[in-house]
């Protein structure tokens, strides 16, 4: 989870550059002061996230009343105390409209996500067990690929799937193997690889909360120490989960959300996954919400 904290920090730095000038004019008679930030007096988002409401409520306890011409409901607190709240509402005013335009959810039924992932077990199992071209080849000789194809094809048929199957059909596996070929395994694996590829391990608009649920559910379904290392070489079980299974699950959740299917659907969902990752981290941070 260290990488997640690093990203949140980087994100905070980005938001930091959006710092605002303090409003100094009197409030317009058409503006309800309740719709203004009590600290910087600029408009709050029309639908503040649960996290923002929580931050503002906690902050209020540390603040003093400070009615002023620009905001009769103004509050006063040290800058260091309220800056995070202002960064947050700025973010929600600017990024949320984009999210709305693009149809990224502002609320997710978290208590259903685990069960939705468990329904992907057959597909994920097949993805793990599929003997890949990228292994040294000797380990998987004992398996009969035709058997596997039958099982996987029937799973796939239920889901209205795509042409390619198994690892060859996983964009994430294909990408990481291409990276290994180009840059070598060390650039992709280990701490350095994890850091460099942090963005790619994000589950799109499911954000950090989604990431936690996806990880937990995957580890329950496929305990790392029980995963056959041969078909996932040269990755470790943990790397395979991070770089292939997590984004694969997220991709399928997004396909379900958006009712996408087939190869075209995969492409659309992949674009959403990548475009909405920064939004997901900010909208559904691990320590926020509930």
| Positions that interact with Zn ion (CB under 5 A) | 37, 39-40, 86
CB of 77 to Zn ion, least distance (A): 11
- Residue 73 Cβ, how far from Zn ion at the closest point, in Å? 12
Cβ partners under 8 Å of residue 35, min gap 6: 43, 44, 46
**26 class by beta-carbon count within 10 Å (0-12 exposed, 13-18 middle, 19+ buried):** exposed
Q: Which CB atom, from 37 or from 269, has the smaller least distance to Zn ion? A: 37
Q: Which residue is nearest to Zn ion (CB)?
A: 37
Minimum gap (Å) between residue 76 Cβ and Zn ion:
13
Given a contact cutoff of 8 angstroms between Cβ atoms, the answer to whether 175 and 134 are in contact is no
Least spacing, CB of residue 43 vs Zn ion, in Å: 9
CB closer to Zn ion out of 71 and 170: 71
What's the CA gap between 174 and 31, in Å, rounded? 54
Minimal distance in Å, beta carbon 89 to Zn ion?
5
**Which residue's CB is nearer to Zn ion, number 80 or number 191?**
80
For residues 270 and 252, give the distance between their C-alpha atoms in angstroms, rounded to a whole number: 9
**Nearer Cβ to Zn ion, position 37 or 230?**
37
- Between 9 and 22, name the residue whose CB sits nearer to Zn ion: 22
Whole-number minimum distance, CB 57 to Zn ion, in Å? 14
In the complex, minimum distance from the CB of residue 88 to Zn ion, in angstroms, rounded to a whole number: 9
Using the minimum distance from each CB to Zn ion, give the nearer residue, 37 or 245: 37
- Closer Cβ to Zn ion, 88 or 243, answer by number: 88
């Amino acid at each position: 989870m260290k990488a997640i904290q690093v990203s949140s920090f980087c994100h905070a730095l980005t938001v930091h550059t959006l710092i605002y000038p303090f409003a100094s004019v009197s409030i317009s008679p058409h503006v309800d002061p309740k719709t203004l930030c009590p600290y910087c007096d600029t408009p709050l988002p029309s639908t503040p996230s649960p996290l923002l409401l929580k931050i503002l409520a906690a902050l209020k306890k540390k603040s003093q009343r400070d009615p002023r011409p620009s905001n009769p409901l103004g509050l006063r607190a040290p800058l260091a105390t309220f800056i995070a709240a202002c960064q947050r509402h700025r973010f929600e005013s600017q990024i949320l409209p984009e999210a709305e335009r693009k149809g990224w959810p502002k609320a997710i039924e978290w208590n259903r996500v685990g069960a939705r992932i468990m329904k992907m077990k057959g597909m994920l199992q097949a993805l793990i067990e599929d003997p890949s071209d990228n292994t040294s080849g000797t380990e998987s000789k004992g398996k009969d690929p035709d058997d596997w194809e039958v099982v996987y094809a029937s799973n796939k048929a239920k889901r209205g799937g795509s042409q390619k199957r198994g690892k060859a059909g996983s964009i994430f596996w294909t990408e990481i193997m291409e990276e290994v070929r180009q840059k070598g395994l060390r650039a992709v694996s280990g701490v350095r690889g994890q850091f460099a590829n942090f963005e790619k391990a994000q589950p799109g608009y499911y954000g950090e909360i989604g990431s936690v649920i996806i990880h937990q559910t995957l580890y329950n379904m496929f305990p790392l120490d029980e995963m056959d290392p041969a078909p996932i070489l040269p990755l470790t079980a943990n790397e395979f989960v991070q770089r292939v299974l997590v984004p694969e699950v997220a991709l399928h959740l997004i396909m379900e959300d958006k009712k996408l299917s087939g190869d075209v659907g995969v492409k659309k969902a992949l674009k959403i996954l990548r475009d909405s990752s920064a939004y997901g981290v900010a909208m559904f941070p691990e320590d926020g919400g509930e």
